[in-house]
Structure 1
Amino acid sequence: MELTFLVYDVIIQVYAMLIRVSSLFNPKARLWVNGRKGWRQSLKNKVPAGGVDIWMHCASLGEFEQGRPVLEALRSLYPEKCILLTFFSPSGYTVRKDYPIVNHVCYLPLDSRKNARIFLQTIKPKLVIFVKYEFWFHFIREISKQQIPLLLISALFRPGQLFFRSYGKVFKQSLLSYNRIFVQDKNSLDLLKNTGIEECVIAGDTRFDRVLTVMEQSKEIRAIDTFLQGKSAWVAGSTWPPDEQVIRGCSDLISKWIIAPHEIKEDHLLYIEKLFGEKTVRYSILKDAPEKFTDKTILLIDNVGMLSSLYRYGQAAYIGGGFGSGIHNILEAGVYGIPVVFGPKFQKFKEAKDLIYLQGAFSITLENELKDVIVRLGNDLFSKSAGDICAHYVHEHAGATEKIIRFIQEKRFLTN
């Protein structure tokens, strides 16, 4: 066992060294390194002497969106409790460092025996919640050693993961440290049960609860109503250049497009403007005098935070990322009862596979395939049927947050 953890420690240190080298020329790596400098003193300054009541850890922004419904439910039930939120990635921390629901936000220090011990001695949590894929073994061992309740929520497991391999027995043991693992599907549950993990149940994915809340809170945006002039529109969310290239070849088939790129760096915005030409207008320019730009057909969203409310304006949605490492959140669009379309890299996302099978979603690889889908969805009955399938799917899978909160209350983790 000790040899295995020695190898693990070496891997962690090599990873940290590579990040430090990358930080010399990579801005994200620089944020990762700088955000952890002096973390011990910073943590002592932030956290009260008595520690925190709840510690939730998320890898990045996507996992935060899964943890968010649980955090907000806990804050509503326990308004006086002290909550700490940590991130591994700068993409989560930089966006949510001022998240008002929690008391403190910081980076999680590198996983080592010493760091885990100091971190937990400082924050003294009564309850720890990890989200989806977080398995930092020294932190888990220290949490178990201190007999702190530990939950894993919205978890997914696959047969190829380290826990289920012959040489991964030591790491499988760490799963026994969780008081309860809330998984998203039966495949994950069966994997755990077959390897002797009993404290696991199917709760579902908390993202379904989150997108329903966002939809209920979304508001009309007058500038966009004026821009659309009652015409049909597609919303393209979290796009990357390969997505935008495909859309460009089909853009004339739709009266209006709202494009919200995943990255809103100036060079990317300029690239999109050049790609689509003079028919493009940025939201920052349009918003103060939208009536002047009704002749434009491409609205380029150049801010963060609007996307989940924009899908309400779509006849359908194109979700980016499918030509890269994987698609972004399709549930944010599907909850509005509109069909969703995306590129070929969707296999890791259960909701995408399910909705393709149910004919609420469509995957494309080529520009001509997108043209074909646009034509098919031009049929109102077909489009409505696909959209209804998406909306029903979201509502049917909601409720994970309630199951998690009920367990926390039943176990009385936060009553002392």
Structure 2
Amino acid sequence: MFTWLLNFVYLALVTVASPYLVWAAVTKGKYREGFAEKFLGRVPGRPERTSQHLWLHAVSVGEVNLLAPLIKALQQTYPGITFHITTTTKAGHELAKTKYAEHTVSYAPLDFSWSVSRAYRQIQPDAVLLAELELWPNLIRFADRHDAKIAVVNGRLSEKSHRGYDRIRFLVGPLLKKLDWIGAQDETYAGRFIDLGANPDNIQVTGSIKFDGITPDRQNPQTLAFRELAGLARENIVWLAGSTQQGEEPIMLEAFRAARQEIHRLKLLLVPRHPHRFDEVATYLESQSIPFQRRSQLTADNRSESDILLIDSVGELSAWWGTADIAFVGGSLGNRGGQNMIEPAAYGAAVSVGPNTWNFKDVVERLRAAEALTVVRDAESLTAFVVKAAQDTTWRQQQGERAKEVVLAQQGATTRTIDGLKPLLDPPKIVKFRTAA
């Protein structure tokens, strides 16, 4: 009865949202792809002759990226293990197809009972690992029906999410109890999981996997290739504004114009958070009559000569951060709650963010405690930060070194996560290939 009630609620929500869904599909290209995978659970089947097969679910680009060190560690621990990776967003799906080409990648089924059941029958996972947190009732409840363990890795539960889930505690509590293991990023998140009803015995504080798998080496091949592609000379001061949201690009441009009057060697690399905004940002830059180039138009024979480069590509931000002397991490001047500032910190850039960073509160607190982060509030304070970082080389490098030390000190979450998962995965099941229904 509960299952069909959920189906009814989901269908009602889809019906109410259908005008927006159609509009987004037509204007932004969202929600068009993967209909059979999402609504019918028609995902690729389990490979034959595998000792263990894991279903890894990552919502979007950030979660897709954090899977890399975990997959590598699992392969080292369990030779022969295979993975089916699902994502929710188009950007996440495109990145996963590129980043994990050797593994099976599909869109995740929507939480209708028929689509989730069919996906389980097709994938036949021995365990399902949810990156950060995805509390979909049928996805969690059906794991046991299909003889699969289910766990959360790199678990995080923001204060805002905790308040929201607390309003439906009657539903969330039983779901959390069905999770076989939760690897929480810190004690605060662990406490929130327990408060909502999770079994304390199944929770372990592992730290954040996002600190792992990040190279502090600016001389890595991809970063060096990007420096050349962007025409960045040694004397240039490179400011990268990454993961920017709507409304932030005008602030970046205003600050760049002001700072450029004093710092003639300054270059701006602008990386919008969402691919569907690439053209929107390009149109805005054109309206300002300021020369810029798009990364998608650059080749080995056509390198950038502009002071502003729009990075209109997916999955490259990590390596582009390695080119930056100065960083601004977007989503923090509006109401988004901030984006991940760990990568520019790891490279030793002088990092700035806006005041609204509740999604990464723990990381911000660590960086600020080490005097390794600058908070700006508008174009004026951002300009002052950029000018100071550009002119005072010693100050810039010291802030960057402190940021790098914070990141390196937090690494090791992947190893702790593997240790926490071993009771679920040991000993490896020896299974015969089952024909999908």
Which TM-score tier does this pair reach, normalised by the shorter chain? Answer: 0.7 to 0.9
Structure 2, unaligned runs of 5 or more: 431-437
Structure-1 separation of matches of 2:222 and 2:72: 17
Q: Secondary structure at the match of 2:359?
A: coil
Equivalent position to 1:207, from 207, 210, 217 = 210
Q: C-alpha distance in 1, partners of 2:303/2:170?
A: 64
For 1:290 and 1:108, locate their aligned partners in 2 and report how far apart those are by CA, in whole Å.
39
Change (3 A) 1:99 1:288: closer
| Correspondence 1:238 to 2:243 | yes
Amino acid at match of 1:197: P
Q: Is the 8 A contact 1:155 1:183 kept in 2?
A: yes
Q: Of residues 351, 358, 380 in structure 2, which corresponds to 1:347?
A: 358
What does residue 155 of structure 1 align with?
155
2:417 counterpart of 1:412: no
In the TM superposition, 1:254-403 aligns within 5 A as: 254=263, 255-262=265-272, 263=275, 265-275=278-288, 277-278=290-291, 280-283=292-295, 287-288=299-300, 293=305, 296-324=306-334, 325-350=336-361, 351-377=363-389, 378-403=391-416
Q: Which moved more, 1:84-93 or 1:298-307?
A: 298-307
| Paired position in structure 2 for 1:23 | 21
Measure, in 2, the Cα distance between the counterparts of 1:283 and 1:109: 33
The verdict on how the C-alpha distance between 1:244 and 1:118 changes in structure 2, with shifts beyond 3 A counting, is: closer
Q: Shift of residue 200 of structure 1?
A: 0.4
Partner Cα separation in structure 2 for residue 179 and residue 87 of structure 1: 21
Aligned to 1:105, the other structure's residue is in SS state: strand
SS of residue matched to 1:32: coil
Preserved CA contact (<8 Å) 2:270 2:308: no
> Following the alignment from structure 2 to structure 1, what is the Cα–Cα distance between the partners of residues 29 and 384?
44
Give the C-alpha shift of residue 127 in structure 1.
1.4
Could you state the TM-score of these two structures normalised by the residue count of structure 2?
A: 0.82
| 3-state SS of 1:138 partner | helix
TM-score, L = length of structure 1: 0.86
1:124-273 → structure 2 map (5 Å cutoff): 124-158=124-158, 161=162, 165=166, 167-194=168-195, 195=197, 196-212=199-215, 218-221=222-225, 223=228, 226-240=231-245, 242-251=247-256, 252=260, 253-254=262-263, 255-262=265-272, 263=275, 265-273=278-286
RMSD in angstroms over aligned alpha carbons? Answer: 3.1
Q: What SS does the corresponding residue of 1:313 show, helix, strand or coil? A: coil
C-alpha change, 1:337 and 1:168, in structure 2 (3 Å) is same
Is 1:47 the equivalent of 2:46?
yes
Going from structure 1 to structure 2, the CA distance change for 1:408 and 1:113 (only over 3 Å counts) comes to same
Note the alpha carbon deviations across 1:235-272, whole angstroms, 9 max, x for none. Answer: 22223453332222332144222323214633422322
1:277-318 CA-to-partner distances (Å, cap 9, x unmatched) read 13x34445565457883xx43233343343222222322111
Paired AA for residue 27 in structure 1: A
The alpha carbon displacement at 1:383 in A equals 1.7
1:17–1:354 CA distance, 2 compared to 1 (3 A): farther
CA shift in 2, pair 1:234/1:6, >3 Å: same
Q: Following the alignment from structure 1 to structure 2, what is the Cα–Cα distance between the partners of residues 41 and 318? A: 40
Question: What secondary structure, in the 3-state scheme, does the structure 2 residue paired with 1:328 have?
Answer: coil
Deviation at 1:137, TM superposition (A): 1.0
Once structures 1 and 2 are overlaid, which stretch shifts more, 159-168 or 360-369?
159-168
- Relative distance call for 1:360 and 1:8 in structure 2 (3 A) is farther
Distance 2:429 2:102 in 1: 18
Q: 1:240 touches 1:261 (CA, 8 Å); kept in 2?
A: no
Compared CA separation, residues 79 and 269, structure 1 to 2 (3 A): farther
The 1:355–1:276 alpha-carbon spacing in structure 2 relative to 1, beyond 3 Å, is: farther
Identity of aligned residues (%): 19
Partner of 2:34: 35
- Conserved? CA contact 1:248–1:276, under 8 Å: no
Q: Which residue of 1 aligns with 2:11?
A: 13
Deviation, structure 1 residue 399: 1.0
Check the 8 A contact 1:163/1:169 in 2, yes or no. no
Q: CA–CA distance in 2 between the matches of 1:181 and 1:56?
A: 14
Cα displacement string for residues 150-193 of structure 1 (whole angstroms, at most 9, x for unaligned residues) = 11011112456268637513321211222210001111122334
Q: Using CA pairs under 8 Å that are at least 6 residues apart, name the structure with larger relative contact order, 1 or 2.
A: 2
For structure 1, the residue ranges without an aligned partner over 5 or more in a row are none
**Separation (CA, whole Å) in 1 of partners of 2:19 and 2:193:** 38
Q: Deviation of residue 140 (structure 1)? A: 0.9
Deviation at 1:101, TM superposition (A): 5.3
SS of the equivalent of 2:215 reads: helix
Post-superposition Cα deviations, 1:168-223, rounded to whole Å, max 9, x if no partner, equal 13321211222210001111122334545321011111111132388666441252
* Structure 1 residue 415 displacement after superposition: 5.0
CA contact (8 A) 2:54 2:83 kept: yes
**Number of matched pairs:** 410
Which position in structure 2 is the counterpart of 1:88? 88
**SS class of match (2:337):** coil
In 2, the alpha carbon distance for the partners of 1:87 and 1:223 equals 33
The verdict on how the C-alpha distance between 1:72 and 1:276 changes in structure 2, with shifts beyond 3 A counting, is farther
Cα distance, 1:306–1:130 mapped onto 2, change above 3 Å: closer
d(CA) in 1 for partners of 2:45 and 2:296? 36
* Contact kept? 1:126, 1:413, Cα under 8 Å: no
Residues 305-349 of structure 1: per-residue CA shift (max 9 Å, x gap): 432222223221112222332322211211111121122321221
> CA 1:408–1:33 in 2, change beyond 3 Å: closer, same or farther?
same
CA distance in 1, matches of 2:296, 2:127: 43
Aligned partner of 1:17: which letter?
T
8 Å CA contact 2:353, 2:375 repeated in 1: yes
Instruction: Give 1:139 deviation, angstroms.
Output: 1.5
